[in-house]
């Protein structure tokens, strides 16, 4: 993100430098500020007030995540898991649901702009049950 501060009056600057205000001229200074894009996701215990859908029959509570991303065009919440595992499992993150296909990666949710979100996580096991021991979440900034 880029911010601009427009031309600044030089009367104060010149007076501070000991120049007479009667002989002053105006000039400007343009400042360009760059804020780096930063996206994070952290896991924790289930949070009261976090985004969550109704408890699904046969689901298991997995805790909660906190997403933060200041990308101006939004971001994707992506889950990574062991390829070949968790096929048919439904992952519920807040109000979003995704059926895992065993590929090892799935987009769980999208945000159209910068956001801070809390989501409770639930899972409904597929035919293979829970055949992986971890899920890794990542927030990925949308391209400009």
DSSP string of the chain, one letter each residue: -EEEE-PPPSHHHHHHTT--GGG-------EEEE----EEEEEES--TT-B--PPPTT-EEEEEEEEEE--TT-EEEEEE--TTSSTTPEEEETTEEEE--SSSEEEEEEESS-EEEEEEEEEE--TT-S--S--EEEEEEPP-
pTM, two decimals, is: 0.71
Domain at 39-141: CATH architecture: Sandwich (2.60)
Q: How far from each other are the two terminal CA atoms of the chain, in whole angstroms?
A: 11
Whole-number average pLDDT of the chain: 82
Q: Which residue has the higher pLDDT, 19 or 141?
A: 141
pLDDT at 11: 37
- Token couple for 65: 């995540």
Domain ranges in the chain are 2-34, 39-141
User: Tens digits of per-residue pLDDT, 110-121?
Assistant: 999 999 999 999
Assign 10 a pLDDT band (cuts: 50, 70, 90).
very low
pLDDT at 14 over 50: no
By percentage, how much of the chain surpasses pLDDT 70? 75
Name which of 123, 49, 134, 137 is nearest 88 in CA terms.
123
pLDDT at 109 over 50: yes
pLDDT at 6 over 60: no
> What distance lies between CA 48 and its chain's CA centroid?
20
């Amino acid at each position: 993100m880029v911010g601009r501060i427009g031309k600044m009056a030089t009367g104060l600057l010149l007076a501070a430098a000991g120049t007479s205000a009667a002989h002053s001229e105006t000039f400007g200074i343009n400042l360009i500020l760059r804020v780096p894009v930063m996206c994070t996701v952290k896991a924790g215990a289930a949070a009261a007030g976090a985004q969550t859908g109704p408890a699904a029959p046969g689901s298991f509570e997995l805790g909660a995540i906190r997403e933060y991303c200041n990308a101006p065009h939004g971001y994707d919440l992506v889950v990574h898991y062991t390829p070949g595992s968790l096929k048919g499992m439904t992952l519920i993150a807040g109000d979003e649901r995704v059926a895992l296909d065993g590929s090892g990666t799935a987009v769980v949710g999208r945000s159209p702009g910068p956001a801070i979100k809390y989501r409770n996580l639930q899972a409904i096991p597929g035919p293979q049950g829970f055949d992986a021991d971890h899920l890794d979440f990542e927030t990925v900034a949308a391209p400009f």
